[in-house]
Amino acid sequence: MRVLISPESVEEALSIIDFGMDILDIKNTKEGSLGAQFPWNIKRVVEQTGPRNVKTSATLGDLPFKPGTAAQAAYGVAVTGVTYVKAGLFGCRTRQEAFEMMDAIRQAVRMVSATAEVVAAGYADWRRFGGLSPTEVVKAAGAAKCDLVMVDTAIKDGTTLFDHMSNDELREFVTGAHAEGMQVALAGSLKLVHAEQLLELGPDLIGVRGAVCEDSTNRHTKISPVKTKEFVEFFRSSGRAGLPGGASARLDVTPAAS
């Protein structure tokens, strides 16, 4: 299982770049769950990750249903050289709207790169704001020929992915996406206390921020390089035999915003 860490600044990204994560997810939490970072900051991080063989992801934002605007944003992000271009389908209310968004985004990315992967992101707490269900996001993303589909939480109030979706719903999400030929990512205030559930669900990727922050209850505090390294090593060692090297004494396992 690969691990994605979400820094919110260039400085924060560079502070953890050598600590083993598979993907640095460049976002701007001031603009929401999947807030968009400035392109010059994305470019700076990409320039540093390439020589280290660390992949990069950049978010387009928690988007309204505006396929043209989204396509232009996707084109600009793809120009920076990121590995993944991720769109939050916040404003989509139907499968058709989600399809139109992701189809436009994929076409825009392909104008720039044949290899950058296109990611459709839905929200586990979709019922709270009248959004599109993750199941419908999977179907739309598959029809639009996306490479990866993920689910996160839109409202960062300390509730987690597992507070909003049951294990059965998450299992359906994972298996449905795999059946469509897409990779799967899970995020949403995940912590080590969720490790067993995550390992059983079998996503290709998990994403965190709050779990590796200095204050795990506040996702706006700085990311800790030590916590980052231990979190990554934990999942690389499967997580079933306990935390390696006594990390449980240092990594808080209480719920946190991510």
What's the one-letter identity of residue 221? T
Q: Which of 55, 86, 227, 229 is catalytic?
A: 86
Q: Which helix (H) or strand (E) holds 56?
A: strand 55-62
Angle CA 157–29–114, to nearest 5:
125
Q: Is 191 a catalytic residue?
A: no
Q: Report the alpha-carbon distance of residue 58 to residue 75 in Å, rounded.
A: 12
Pick from 106, 200, 104, 98: nearest CA to 147 = 106
Q: Supply φ then ψ for residue 53, to 5 degrees.
A: 60, 35
Q: Is 194 helix (H, G, I), strand (E, B) or coil?
A: helix
Q: Report the alpha-carbon distance of residue 95 to residue 143 in Å, rounded.
A: 10
Q: Is 27 a catalytic residue?
A: yes
The residues carrying an active-site annotation are 27, 86
